């Protein structure tokens, strides 16, 4: 067993029990903790710090969580260490809540990475699954760039097309959805399709449009 594996064994076992396999990598003065290649935590001197920003960070602070920066003010790191928090016992002693907080942190990181990836795309046709045809189609409903498309989302963009009477089969919607997830349309899972389609049909019904069977 490596030094990294040995020194992070206890925290990795705790976290793995909650969210699945967690790995560790040695950093400058601490260890980075990863789940599915996403770094979500720091571990130093037997203390675990979870990455959190925005509303999640505010919630943790309201529960008494202290930032890594408050504990290690002189730490020479390229990370935004102020966004890592030591969780209070109120959270870590409640397995269900602990798991929920970890999952929210991971989702927050995924969403941020996705936004950064999409921000690198200037034109809609540059997104996965889309072409100049899709770009022109969206232009007809005043969606001219990736940022606007991202803010509206696939569901609202599709509804705009339908409301304007533009012919758009369900395949167009799935192309939009996968594009904004930055993945190939063939990688959408069956369960994912079922969940997303349910939400789309609710939105279509609210807009007075025919649902998709």
Q: Please report how the helices 146-163 and 170-180 are oriented relative to each other, as an axis angle in degrees rounded to 10.
A: 160
Pair 48, 41: CB distance under 8 Å: yes
Q: If you average pLDDT over every residue of the chain, what do you get?
A: 91
pLDDT digits (tens, 9 = 90+) for 178-211: 999 999 999 999 999 999 999 999 999 999 999 9
Give me the pLDDT at residue 70, please.
62
Report the pLDDT averaged over residues 66-92: 75
- For residue 118, what pLDDT band results from cuts at 50, 70 and 90? confident
- For residue 145, what pLDDT band results from cuts at 50, 70 and 90? very high
Nearest-5° angle of CA 26, CA 32, CA 34? 120
Give me the pLDDT at residue 82, please.
77
Give me the pLDDT at residue 104, please.
97
Residue 191's alpha-carbon distances to 97, 129, 170, 172, 194, in angstroms, are: 25, 20, 17, 19, 5
Q: Where along the chain do its domains lie?
A: 3-118, 122-206
**Residue bearing the bigger pLDDT, 97 or 67:** 97
In angstroms, the CA 21 to CA 12 distance is 8
Report the pLDDT averaged over residues 92-108: 97
Report the pLDDT averaged over residues 105-134: 90
In angstroms, the CA 171 to CA 136 distance is 16
Pair 25, 2: CB distance under 8 Å: no
Report the pLDDT averaged over residues 113-135: 89
Give me the pLDDT at residue 115, please.
82
CATH topology of domain 3-118: Yope Regulator; Chain: A, (3.30.1460)
pTM of the model: 0.68
CATH superfamily of 122-206: 5' to 3' exonuclease, C-terminal subdomain (1.10.150.20)
């Amino acid at each position: 067993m490596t030094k990294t594996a040995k020194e992070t064994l206890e925290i990795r076992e705790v976290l793995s029990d909650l969210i699945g396999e967690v790995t560790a990598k040695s950093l400058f003065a601490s260890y980075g903790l990863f789940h599915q290649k996403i770094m979500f935590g720091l571990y130093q001197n037997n203390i675990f710090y979870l990455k959190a920003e925005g509303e999640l960070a505010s919630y943790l602070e309201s529960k008494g969580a202290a930032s890594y920066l408050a504990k290690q003010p002189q730490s020479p790191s390229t990370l935004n260490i102020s966004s890592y928090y030591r969780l209070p016992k109120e959270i870590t002693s409640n397995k269900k809540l602990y798991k929920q907080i970890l999952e929210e942190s991971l989702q927050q990181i995924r969403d941020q990475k996705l936004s950064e990836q999409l921000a690198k795309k200037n034109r809609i046709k540059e997104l996965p699954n889309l072409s100049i045809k899709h770009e022109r189609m969206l232009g007809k409903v005043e969606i001219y760039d990736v940022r606007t498309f991202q803010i509206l989302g696939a569901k609202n963009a599709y509804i705009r097309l339908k409301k304007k009477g533009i012919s758009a089969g369900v395949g167009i919607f799935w192309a939009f959805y996968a594009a904004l997830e930055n993945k190939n349309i063939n990688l959408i899972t069956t369960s994912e399709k079922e969940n997303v389609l349910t939400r789309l049909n609710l939105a279509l019904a609210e807009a007075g449009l025919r649902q998709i069977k």
